[in-house]
Amino acid sequence: MSTQTLPRTLILSALLLALCGSTLYLFVQSRSQAETITALTAEKERLFSENSARTQALLTEQNIANTTITELTTRLAALTTELEDAEDDLRKEKNINDNFEDQIKEISGTIGILDKLSKTDEELLQKYSRTYFLNENFVPMKLKKVDQDYILPGKKDQYFHGDAVNFLTDMIDEAKSDGLDLKIVSAYRSFDEQADLKGQFTQVYGTGSNAFSADQGYSEHQLGTTVDLTNPTVGGAYVSFKETPEYQWLLTHAQRYGFILSYPEGNSFYMYEPWHWRFVGVDLAGDLHRADATLYDWDQRKIDEYLVSIFD
């Protein structure tokens, strides 16, 4: 072998060896990559399978949740309907109870009114002056003796309706605080007392007494709510009372205490009696005063409406 042939052979051998090494390396690398790919593929499949299972589990849970939500929504709707029905029933019951309560209040009010009326003389607002006859046996349910300080000196004991006497004394006290001196001449008179008084007047004045004195049974004094007033200066000179400041005070203030002038100037029953004052209650007295009317101007049915509040 020539010297030139040997290096070529070595070179070819080296190349061949290098090629084999490269081939082996590539084989090893290829196998390693294949194993890696296989491992990654397996991991991918595992993760996919796990994800699928988890997704399926979540889907199952979601389906359960949806079912639960649907059931709860249905139950909520049913409960809402039941609640609305219950509220409607409650409103109906409340309306029924309110109606019962109103009826009970109305009945209680009616009973209260009837109870007050049963304890009040029904005659107290009647127009007795030559219009209605007051039974000879009538005596007010309550009579109370008036304190002597309110009576004109020299006059006998006087009595007034027990539920109205405080109105009378309060009025006299208020006049006194204004510097006036109102005194009572005569208050309650029984049927027999009125008969005796009328007899005395008739003996003195004859039929002329009818102008200023009522027959027994027709006198407001028998009600126990009527009073003749004067002052110590006038005393028994009744007609002169119209000239006194006490009378002028009464014209302005008496209605505040429930008193009215029964027989003012121009009345069709008796002569003008400035001394003669009748208790009819604050409400009626005030309304008559505002209307510039007398008791005898109004219809009896209208007047009777005030009876229940006469002592309020």
Residue with tokens 């070595």: 10
Query: What tens digit of pLDDT does each residue of 126-183 get?
Result: 887 655 656 677 788 899 999 999 999 999 999 999 999 999 999 999 999 999 999 9
Which amino acid, 249?
Answer: W
Tell me the pLDDT band of 1, cut-offs 50, 70 and 90. low
In this prediction, residue 276 carries a pLDDT of: 94
Structural domain boundaries in the chain: 1-118, 143-309
Q: How far apart are CA 17 and CA 1, in angstroms?
A: 22
Query: What tens digit of pLDDT does each residue of 180-221 get?
Result: 999 999 999 886 664 454 344 344 344 433 333 444 446 788
Beta bridge pairs of residue 276 = 228
DSSP label at residue 144: E
The half-sphere exposure of 179 on its side-chain side, counting CA atoms within 13 A, is 3
In this prediction, residue 201 carries a pLDDT of: 38
Q: pTM for the complete prediction?
A: 0.63
Query: What tens digit of pLDDT does each residue of 54-101 get?
Result: 777 777 777 887 888 888 888 878 878 877 877 777 787 777 776 656
Residue 137 φ then ψ, to 5°: -90, 0
Residue 252 has pLDDT above 80, yes or no: yes
Residue 110 has pLDDT above 60, yes or no: no
Query: What tens digit of pLDDT does each residue of 18-37 get?
Result: 777 777 777 777 777 777 77
Over residues 260-272, mean pLDDT: 86
Residue with tokens 């003749």: 228
CA nearest neighbour of 150 among 178, 185, 174: 185
In this prediction, residue 67 carries a pLDDT of: 83
Architecture field, domain 143-309: 2-Layer Sandwich (3.30)
Which has the higher per-residue pLDDT, 117 or 45? 45
